[in-house]
Amino acid sequence: VPELESAHPPFALCLHKRDFQPGRWIVDNIIDSIEKSHRTLFVLSEHFVTSEWCRYELDFSHFRIIDEHNDSAVLVLLEPIKKET
């Protein structure tokens, strides 16, 4: 995160632990963050694919891609993921 945010040009990141508004519905935080983003970076891991909220973020981003006809999602495979997951 520090490397991305201090790069030239810097990346503006949204991290749920730091940037989501406390007391606001998590779904509203997710939707608002994705809609305000030029790109959404997903780091795919075993934990990611087993997390209901992470899958929701990916689904919402996918709907945005289809609805707006853009390529706003970037997927990065962090580690091999089992097919059973």
- Residue 85: which pLDDT band, with cuts at 50, 70 and 90? low
Residue 39 resides in a domain: yes
- Residue 69: which pLDDT band, with cuts at 50, 70 and 90? confident
Q: Tell me how many domains the chain contains.
A: 1
Residue 61 resides in a domain: yes
Residue 29 resides in a domain: yes
Residue 6 resides in a domain: no
Residue 72 resides in a domain: yes
State the pTM of this model: 0.72
Residue 9 resides in a domain: no
Residue 48 resides in a domain: yes
Summarize pLDDT for 34-67 with one digit per residue, the tens.
888 888 888 889 988 889 988 888 888 888 888 8
- For the range 42-50, what are the long-range contacts, defined as Cβ-Cβ under 8 Å and sequence gap of 24 or more? 42/73, 42/74, 42/75, 42/76, 43/76, 43/78, 44/75, 44/76, 44/77, 44/78, 44/81, 45/78, 45/79, 45/81, 46/79, 46/81, 46/82, 46/85, 48/78, 49/81, 49/85, 50/85
**Across 23-30, average pLDDT:** 93
- Residue 23: which pLDDT band, with cuts at 50, 70 and 90? very high
> When comparing pLDDT for 70 and 47, which is higher?
47
Q: Residue 27 is part of which domain span?
A: 21-77
Residue 3 resides in a domain: no
